[in-house]
Structure 1
Amino acid sequence: MGVGFDAERARFLYRLLAPARLTRVVDVGANPLSAPPYAALLKAGLCEVWGFEPHPEAYAKLSASAGPHEHYLPVAVGSGAEVEFRICASSGMSSSLEPNRATFDALGRFHDIAEVVGRTTMATCRLDDLAELPDFELLKIDIQGGETAVFEGAQRRLTRALAVITEAAAIPIYVDQPLIDAQILALRPMGFFLHKFKSINSFSLRGPMAERMHRRKFRSQMVDGDVVFLRGLLELGKLSTEELKHMALLADAVFDSQDVTVACLAQLVERSGLPREGVDAYLDRLPHVTEAAGTEGAA
């Protein structure tokens, strides 16, 4: 469990770390239906975003509201192949995969918003082939089932990234959708371990005998959620000094994993002369910690 975002704490941490540049985020499927997990960090002016959104209306909204650290391209990211794109009644359900009516029937939901209202052919680009894209620390991806194709087309980029936040499904919302196990297998060769579930969406199974059961009170089936993967998590000493700085900032301000932040800071104290009193000052800004001179191991 984390303690939530705090703008003052994030700014203090940024000043303490003094990275050579802003942390870079790549957002594949940047459709602004809800605030992305890095939104608060971006609002604080502490990260740079490169977003990719092929949907014309969504891209127009992103471009119109873009701040000084935001760059958006109307590009579909994937394996580099041409795909059939299903346009659904809700743009958030549109996908290169066919909606799975069998799953919708079992859950008793999604039929209306996942109705396919149009089809088009779309060329995709591999992240590894985009020369204008600089190296980045965080890949955030939400493209309704096409995630593993993006990973396969970004192997060079991802071996230099630090984190992935991806929407992963436990059951197939789309026909032949790669589920969370496929994402784990795709990211593992690039050094990523599953770190945490940032959010989980669970729903009730429905059927002819379930009418008396309240949908919101009986929600046992996990459907999907946002999952955080980290590279080098178990061997932080192998990350460069700059990588540790960016990981520390992301862990505090985006993943809500302040224990990872402190582990990175400990490496920096040993390696680069980061002052121990600076780490104590960061810890003082967290709840649920002992006094600096107290016993080790808060409950």
Structure 2
Amino acid sequence: MRSSNPVFSRRGFSRDTGYAGFHAPPQAGGVGADPYAGANPYAQTTTQAPQHTPQTRPMTMDDVVMRTAFTLGTLIVGAVVGWLYLTEQLGFAIGAGIAAMVLGFVQSFKRKPSPPLILAYAALEGVFLGALSGNLNSLPNMNGAPMQAVLGTMAVFVTMLIAYKTRIVRVTARFTRFLMIATMGFVLLSLVNVLFMVFGGGDGLGFRSGGLGIVFGLVGVVLGALFLALDFKQVEDGIAYGAPREESWLAAFGLTVTLVWIYMEMLRLISILRD
């Protein structure tokens, strides 16, 4: 299954990763035991036992957790630097954000995950978020807004994880198509709004303030939450069907990008509510 992200159209686990020899059967039951196995790149219809070498052992949940923690830790360190030293230098922070976006796109189109590239993205994205959050925190009536956004992001993550594990939310092909279409529409409207703000002045189409801004922010948070379910499914499939260990870096990258998306939407939503 390929997965996309609201910010980056990243490559997910797929047959073209160069690991054709590691399509292991699911850990419990045959292919028919998983309703998504037919569309999963790691599923196979034979019962031949997988052949692994020490250099290419399949990834585990521990691998995903450790690399996600490492990536998010790097982002947090960058955020601390941005908050402490760049709150008054938003121009530099915006440059770091643009550089992070470029690195994210580069990783999205690479055939294999690049840990240095992913960590560089996390560091630069952290600098941007830290400086932006620190600047916002210093404004009247906005003190504490970044912390509220962090807590809101954590709440969305835990809620979606529970909903996914209890199968309240099921990731299917129809779910994925709907999410892709909805996200493309959301991003397109956001870009149009920015163009109206740049060339028309004011608040553009009104997506950044008032009742319409609140609705738009809620939609953004919901889309981010649904992408978390897609990320969880990607991790689950990769583990069940023997994805190579290095693919855990892609899982960490995807989860980090999604959490950044949710945080930004939370921060914007809280800012509108406090304004």
Higher relative helix content: 2
Higher relative CO (Cα under 8 Å, sequence separation at least 6) belongs to 2
Higher relative strand content: 1
- The TM-score by the shorter chain falls in which range? under 0.3
TM-score normalised by the chain length of structure 2:
0.24
TM-score normalised by the chain length of structure 1:
0.23
